[in-house]
Structure 1
C-alpha cells in the first residue's frame, strides 16, 4: 500500500520531474488523447490568428486539412491568400470569442439573422461586419455583401456537417457587440469599416460562466448536425493587441486567457469526443523565459510553433508514433503570412 496518494504517480504529475527537470525544448504536456487523427480524417480549423499556424502545420505534416470554401478556379495564389481562401476551413475570418462561434453556427442555420448587414468604408465600398477583412477591395454595395455572405454560410453548413475533427482556438473574451440584438463582432466599428457610435455598439468582456456556456452551446449545436465530430480545444498564446478596458493591457490579457482556459476545461468536462490541447501552456510557460516570442513579445516564433506541433502530432498520431521528421525541420523557417484582424486596430491609428 502506498504511503500517501502521491507516492505512485507518474513523473508528469510532478513539477520538478516534468518541468524543472527537463530542457525547455523537451517539455511535453500533451494530453492522453481520447482519439487519434487518421491521415484521411477531414481536419478543420477556426479561431484566432494562432489557429492559422495550426492549419499550416497540419498541412505540412500531411494531414487532410479540410476546406469547404475554396478559391474560385483560376484565381492567382497571391489573390486567393489576400482574400483569405484557405486561411481557415471556410472564409469566416478570425473568430476570437466563444460567442462568435455560437453566432456563426446560428447564422449559418438561420437561427439568428442580425440586424447589422453591411458596414460602409471611407472609400465608399462596403464590408461584411462579421468578416470585415476577407475582401481587401471591399464590396460594391450591401447587396454584394449579402450575396457573398449567403454563399459563405452555405459552405459553413457543409463544413460543420462533414468534418471529422475540429481544432478550435479561443483567443479573447473582449469583443464588440451590436446593442440592438447582441451580434458579436470580430472588430470594433470604425477599425476596418463601419462608424463607431456608442449608442449602437458596446464593449463586452465575457466572464467564465458566459464563455463556458457559449463554448458548450457551440459544441452541442455542432453535435446536433454532426454527432461523430471530434473536437480539440486550444487557447491562443498570442496576447491581445489592445484592450478597451480602462486598465493596463497586460492585466486585461491575463484575465482573458484565464477565463478562456477555464471555459475550455469546463465546457468539455466529461465529453469523450473533445480534448484540450495545451498550446497556450507550451508557449507561455515560464520555463521558456519568453524564448517562443519574437521581439514584439506577441508573435510566436517558428521554434514555438514547432514545439507545439511536435507535441500535437505525437498526441494524435495513431498509435502515439513520433511526429514526422519534416515537422521539426526547416519548413517552418518559411513563415507564411497570418491574418490577424486585431492588427487593424493599430493600423487604423497610424
Structure 2
C-alpha cells in the first residue's frame, strides 16, 4: 500500500500477471454455485457435511423420542411410517411430549419437561397451556408417563423453534406458548427476546440431565425452519424471525463446538437445507413446507443416520420431487413422479427448459431421463 497525493492505493490480487491468494487455513469449504447444487447428493455434500455421525446409529430397534416443534412432529411421523420405534408416536400416552410435543417451541419449556420428568421439579406459575388455552398442570400420572418415555429413549431428537418468549415477571418462569387472554396480567406477564447465553444454558442443562439419567442415549438437536407467524416486537415479523432463528442457531453452534467432541450431542441442519438448498420453498402461507420438501429432508435423514439406507433411486426421486415442490423445476414433475406417469415425464423432457437455473439444466434433465428409463424398464418387465 502506498500514498500518492493523499490517495491510498491498495495492491490488488492480480499484479504484473501474478495471481496472489489469501492463506486459506487447513480447512476450507466454499459456498456452492447453482451448478454444484443440481445433484441428488448436493444437500449431503454442501449442507450436511461436517454434521453427520461417524457411522449411522439408528436401527428399527432404536427407541426415539422426538419433540420440540411442528418440525419434530414431521420427523416422528416419517420415522414411524418407516417402521422405526418412535416412543412419542404412542397415542395412548398422556405425556405432554406426545399430546402437544410440537407446541414446545422454546428451549425453556423443553428444559422444563426434562426437569419435571427426571427430577420432579415444579414451577410456581401455570406455565403450560393447551391449544384452547386450557391449563396443563403437574399431574403425577403425566409426569410418570413422560419419565417412562425419557427413561427408555436411545435417541432424543429435540427441535428448537423460536427465542421469543412470554414470561412471568414475578416468578421468572417462561410460558409454554403465550398467556390465555382471560388471565393476562400486564403487571406481571411480559414479553422478551431471549439471549444466546440463556438458550445455551437451557440446552446445556437438558444435555446434563440426559447424561445423568440416560447416560447411553444420544441427542440430536435441530432448528425448525418454520418461521414466526407473528412477532410481538415493534419491528417487522420478517426481521424479527431472522433474529429469533439466529439466536438459537448461534447457541446450538457454540454448544456443538463445546460439547460435540464428547460424541453425544449432534446437529441436523434442517434449517439450512430449507433456506439454502431450496431457497425458502414455503407454501402460500410462507410458513409451512410442501410435502415433497419435507419428505426429501426425512429421506436424507435416513441416508445419514439410519443403518438401513434408501436406494439411489429413492433419493433421486425424492430429490426431484422436492425440487418440483419448491418451484425449482417443472411443477408437473412432482405429480408425474408420484403417479409413475411416463407420458407426463416425456412431455416434461420435451420442453426446452426444465430447470429454473440454466446451470442445472443438463444435470437435472439427466436425472429425469433416468427416472423415465426406470419406469420403462418396469413396464417392460
- Residue in 2 that maps onto 1:21: 36
- Residue in 2 that maps onto 1:169: 159
Structure in which a larger fraction of residues adopt helix: 2
- Residue in 1 that maps onto 2:344: none
- Residue in 2 that maps onto 1:312: 301
What is the CA–CA distance in structure 1 between the aligned matches of 2:77 and 2:247, rounded to whole Å?
27
After superposition, give the CA deviation of every residue in 1:204-225 in whole Å (9 maximum; x if it has no partner).
3111111111111111111110
Structure 2, unpaired ranges of 5+: 1-20, 326-333, 335-381
- Residue in 1 that maps onto 2:53: 33
Structure 1 stretch displaced more, 21-30 or 157-166: 21-30
After superposition, give the CA deviation of every residue in 1:55-102 in whole Å (9 maximum; x if it has no partner).
111112221111386427xxxxxxxxxxxx799546555211111122
Query: Secondary structure of 1:15's partner?
Result: coil
Q: 1:60 to 1:308 in 2, by over 3 A?
A: same
The structure 2 residue matched to 1:62, chosen from 83, 89, 100, is 83
Q: CA deviation at 1:305?
A: 0.5
Q: Would you say 1:107 and 2:116 are equivalent positions?
A: yes
- Residue in 2 that maps onto 1:188: 178
Q: 1:110 to 1:16 in 2, by over 3 A?
A: closer
The structure 1 residue matched to 2:269, chosen from 278, 283, 302, is 278
- Residue in 1 that maps onto 2:128: 130
The structure 1 residue matched to 2:104, chosen from 72, 95, 112, is 95
Q: 1:257 to 1:284 in 2, by over 3 A?
A: same
Q: CA deviation at 1:114?
A: 1.7
- Residue in 2 that maps onto 1:259: 247
- Residue in 2 that maps onto 1:244: 232
Larger RCO, structure (CA 8 Å, separation 6 or more):
1
Q: CA deviation at 1:40?
A: 0.3
Q: CA deviation at 1:288?
A: 2.3
Which runs of structure 2 are paired with 1:150-169 in the superposition (5 Å)? 150-169=140-159
Greater Rg by CA: 2
> What TM-score do you get using the length of structure 1 for normalisation?
0.73
Q: 1:227 to 1:187 in 2, by over 3 A?
A: same
> What's the Cα RMSD here?
3.3
Query: Secondary structure of 2:103's partner?
Result: coil
Query: Secondary structure of 1:296's partner?
Result: coil
What is the CA–CA distance in structure 2 between the aligned matches of 1:319 and 1:5, rounded to whole Å?
41
Q: 1:312 to 1:6 in 2, by over 3 A?
A: farther
CA contact (8 A) 1:43 1:66 kept: yes
What is the CA–CA distance in structure 1 between the aligned matches of 2:137 and 2:238, rounded to whole Å?
38
Structure 1, unpaired ranges of 5+: 73-84, 118-128, 334-350
The structure 2 residue matched to 1:295, chosen from 267, 280, 284, is 284
Query: Secondary structure of 1:27's partner?
Result: helix
Count of aligned positions? 292
